Structure 1
Amino acid sequence: MLVNGPAIPINGDDVHVLSTPVEFYEQLIQNISQAKDRLVITSLYIGNGQLEEKLYREIESFLERGGSATIIVDHGRGLRGEKKSTYARCLKMYKQYHHNLTLGYFYSPLVEQSIVAKRISQLQETLATQHTKIYLADDKLILSGANLESAYFTNRQDRYIQFSNRKLGNFFSILAQIITKHSYLMHSPDEGLNDARKVDFSSFKADVNAHLSNFDGLKESKHDTLFHPSVQAGWADVRNDEHLLESVLSNLTKEDKMYFCSGYFNPPSPLCQAISSTKASVELLSADCRANGFYKAKFPKSGITPAYQLFADDMLEELGSKELNYNEWNRDQWTFHAKGMWFYTSSSCFAASIGSSNFSHRSYLKDLEAGGLISTQNKSLQNALDAERSRIWAHAHERNTSIQKVPNWVKKVAPRLKAFF
């Protein structure tokens, strides 16, 4: 399979697919507890429950041992909750360990340009977020779509893959430094956040592109697996993720098969066109309305779940005559947040994506995303990726639109706000 763009050679035996939210949490805690030198965490936010407090304490133990840590969250989401916010808990930690802890709060230029959103944190999230999920402890890297909140550690289906590779860890560590460069920073426990910074669109794009070009290791051939890193920030014209996946889809054959899932199906036209044009057969999976995290939420969030039902209809219409199967995921007392693509030839899963992107309009155009594509000849890794995909599809069923009625106000509003989902 021809994949365009940078690649980092790795050994398939150094890739471990995590199976459950509990395994993800326990592995994360173990990695931090064993780390000696560096810790990098980027996420939308960190929660405030008992499981999260244990995570914070493990980070503090790492800092006490003299390690260097960087934590980056979204500005609006990180400050929400006042005394129970990510900001408040990290500030407590920063006051004790400010010499070896860097705290960054990414404030999207799209939010900066909105006078109203600047004043209302929840509105900021509708415009754009820092959405990457990078969990690095020394050379152990977990890439995921999961945030650091208790539901993602218990009963919220997501994906999590661990890599033990220094070069790959370095790539995402430097990427985190680039994000930090364009974030509000804590410079002093007494002064709070430095909010004098302004993001330079061209600088961000140049920094990311230069970083990607520095990690092109395709000439190294003594490995059975390649990791193709990708970054997506449509607002800065950084579109590595969409170009990478479009390249893969264009090179699939009639003998190939693609599985594609997202908790929030609302793919933009270029991705729909790539799916409809691919020669491979296609299996789609999204959240049953009951497995959507916004199901039965209060107004106006009550409209989000039925809106995604309409977006799925739009997607299927845009895919046109493409032959495919579309199912929905549901598991009692669970919600669905998994996203990714798996690529098969014959019965072997030879490639899979992993990362933060939901493959939606906002993922491509508004949010900051990171991840990549694993392409492998390692049979054990191929089997592990196939097993991961099978576990997710084990809870699939035929789509049933009668479970939830779409209110008339959603039918009127949703099409106008499609780009924000």
Structure 2
Amino acid sequence: MLPAIALIRRATSAHRIASVAACARQLATQAAAVDAQHRLDHDYIARTRQLLQDTRPALPRFAVQGETIKPLLSPSQFYAELKDNIRNAQRSITLAALYLGHNEDDLVAALSEALRSRPNLKLTLLLDSLRGTRDTGKGSSASLLHPLLKAYPNQVRISMYHTPDLSGFLKQVMPPRFNEGIGLMHMKVYAFDDTLIMSGANMSHDYFTDRQDRYIVFKNKDITEYYCDLVSTVASLSYSLKDKDNVFSLDMVNGVPDPVRDSKQFKQHATRTVRAFLTKWSNFQQSPKDDTYDTTLYPLVQMGPFNLRQDERVTLSMLEHILHPDEKQDPAKLFITSGYFNFEKRYSQTIIHSKVADVCLIAASPEANGFFNSAGISKYVPPAYTLIERRFFNDAKAAGNGERIKIEEYVRKGWTYHAKGLWVYPPKSSLPVMTTIGSPNFGYRSIVRDLEAQLFLVTSNPGLRKSLHEELSSLRQFAHPVTEATFEAPDRRVPVWVGSASRAIRTML
């Protein structure tokens, strides 16, 4: 009996030893795989940073800690962050957007209280002149802000940029709203002391409640200073909101040509001014000092009216780097989102003809487009985007990339979609190492008509990479795949005339 028990014990012990050994081998294999993936990610990050650092003319480079950066996931979070920072700002508040909603009394009240309680606080506001003065019968951005300017004339500076491309006869005949298609101040920058929020969102009720966009918070003095300087530079080229006998007026800064009356001279002056800004900041080349500085930031501008195309040039270079690598390797994964599916031709061709494409494009469904069911001719804007999207879908299929290039549409009842940017995942990686955040939509008008600001972010910080992945996942939660059947649905049929019209006005979409 005893020998049998001993044999059983030996067998059990041997089985345990074998199990432990198997677990150890499995753990070692997993650790080796993690280490190998870490090296792949590190190499990809290094190549991406080198590409950005080798860009000429040189880009400014900011080294920061990933823990100081936080993506926000919802409009309500964005609004709460704005209000909190307004309450806490001690020295300066800088806000740049296309417009301020005419009924944003609470936001203006928060600004007023901050200015009243802190007499040394300075407020700089930059809006677009066309959108900011458009009155729908309920007021405009300018009329809402006018009392703030009157109450705190020594603390408040309100500027309104007007495109020089809308002048002369065109200025006289183009009606309000339609004239905005000629060009806008489209940058979205929100800065409070040493805190920066980069976004694509404007300051209005829908952007604070049910219009999905993107928003990333940076706690860093240097990058905040860069964007405050950018806003100040554009403000110096803009009309100033003034109070004249209790009525607001727009006056050009002394010595600056008027963009409407002296369009050509204004463009020359503006080009010199912005080039001087870019040259000054190109010398800012902050390098990581130690391992805690795991994230690098590269700010970019795009100002087509002044032939300043920094963002376009770098974005094209990055798409080539991601989708057309020099050597045979597993593809990186690329996600691009835009509220409006109207990618500029070179962007589209670079994506469509990639030989290692693993791309997902996310855009608004017709129901999530801000023009859906609008009055007048603008109700045909969503069908125009449908037509452009279908052409892209068919072109990708014809190039043999129908399976590797996917399109998804954001559909969420009662919500619209305005998010833009890209995320890059290294080969075989489950977390991104790069994203962009800012105002460009990757479309024609972002390149040739509007003033845009974007930031490229490259990071090895595990926490930030996870947060960026969660940000993308939160958007894709409401995204649905686009197939042939999508375009065959009765509600997606496009009137024949819209095709010709969309080609004619594509640079305005």
Shift of the alpha carbon at 1:189?
A: 4.3
Moved more, 263-272 or 277-286: 277-286
**1:117 to 1:383, Cα distance in 2 relative to 1, 3 A:** farther
2:368 paired residue number: 291
1:63 to 94, 99, 115: 115
Give the gaps of 5 or more residues in structure 1: none
Provide Cα deviations, 1:294-336, integer angstroms capped at 9, x if missing partner. Answer: 1111220111010111121233455544430111110111111
1:300 to 367, 370, 377: 377
What are the equivalent positions in structure 2 for 1:1-400 lying under 5 Å apart? 1=48, 2-3=51-52, 4=55, 5-49=59-103, 52-64=104-116, 65-66=118-119, 67-81=121-135, 84-116=139-171, 120-190=175-245, 192-195=249-252, 197-199=257-259, 200-213=266-279, 214-215=281-282, 216-222=284-290, 223-252=293-322, 253=325, 254-276=330-352, 278=354, 279-317=356-394, 319=396, 320-322=399-401, 323-345=404-426, 346-399=429-482, 400=486
Identical aligned pairs, as a percentage? Answer: 30
2:498 paired residue number: 410
Provide Cα deviations, 1:28-75, integer angstroms capped at 9, x if missing partner. Answer: 0000100010111111111133xx211101111222212111111111
Moved more, 148-157 or 310-319: 310-319
What's the secondary structure of 2:231's corresponding residue? helix
Task: Give distance in 2, aligned partners of 1:76 and 1:107.
Answer: 7
What's the secondary structure of 1:217's corresponding residue? coil
What's the secondary structure of 1:349's corresponding residue? coil
Q: 1:250, 1:277 within 8 Å by CA — same for their partners in 2?
A: no
What's the secondary structure of 1:73's corresponding residue? strand
Shift of the alpha carbon at 1:404?
A: 2.5
Task: Give distance in 2, aligned partners of 1:114 and 1:376.
Answer: 49
Task: Give distance in 2, aligned partners of 1:181 and 1:363.
Answer: 21
**1:83 to 1:194, Cα distance in 2 relative to 1, 3 A:** farther
Provide Cα deviations, 1:73-118, integer angstroms capped at 9, x if missing partner. Answer: 1111111116611100111111111111111011001123553457
Give the gaps of 5 or more residues in structure 2: 1-47, 260-265
Counterpart code for 1:129: L
Shift of the alpha carbon at 1:208?
A: 2.8
Where is the strand percentage greater, Structure 1 or Structure 2? 1
Shift of the alpha carbon at 1:409?
A: 2.8
Q: 1:117, 1:123 within 8 Å by CA — same for their partners in 2?
A: no
Shift of the alpha carbon at 1:356?
A: 0.8
Moved more, 180-189 or 58-67: 180-189
Task: Give the TM-score, by structure 1 length.
Answer: 0.94
Task: Give distance in 2, aligned partners of 1:114 and 1:139.
Answer: 44
Structure 1 outlier segments of 4+, above 6 Å: none
Counterpart code for 2:131: R
Shift of the alpha carbon at 1:373?
A: 0.9
* 2:507 corresponds to 1:419: yes
Task: Give distance in 2, aligned partners of 1:97 and 1:318.
Answer: 56
Task: Give distance in 1, aligned partners of 2:277 and 2:71.
Answer: 26
Shift of the alpha carbon at 1:248?
A: 1.6
Q: 2:364, 2:411 within 8 Å by CA — same for their partners in 1?
A: yes
Shift of the alpha carbon at 1:386?
A: 0.5
What's the secondary structure of 1:148's corresponding residue? coil
Task: Give distance in 1, aligned partners of 2:167 and 2:231.
Answer: 21
Provide Cα deviations, 1:325-379, integer angstroms capped at 9, x if missing partner. Answer: 1111101111111111000012220000000111111111101111211111111
**1:317 to 1:85, Cα distance in 2 relative to 1, 3 A:** same
Structure index of larger Rg: 2
**1:317 to 1:117, Cα distance in 2 relative to 1, 3 A:** farther
Q: 2:334, 2:425 within 8 Å by CA — same for their partners in 1?
A: yes
Task: Give distance in 2, aligned partners of 1:126 and 1:255.
Answer: 38
Moved more, 120-129 or 198-207: 198-207
User: Aligned-pair RMSD on alpha carbons?
Assistant: 1.9
Task: Give distance in 1, aligned partners of 2:218 and 2:85.
Answer: 12
Shift of the alpha carbon at 1:195?
A: 4.5
What's the secondary structure of 1:259's corresponding residue? strand
Task: Give distance in 1, aligned partners of 2:393 and 2:303.
Answer: 26
Provide Cα deviations, 1:232-272, integer angstroms capped at 9, x if missing partner. Answer: 11121111111121222222253311001111011111212
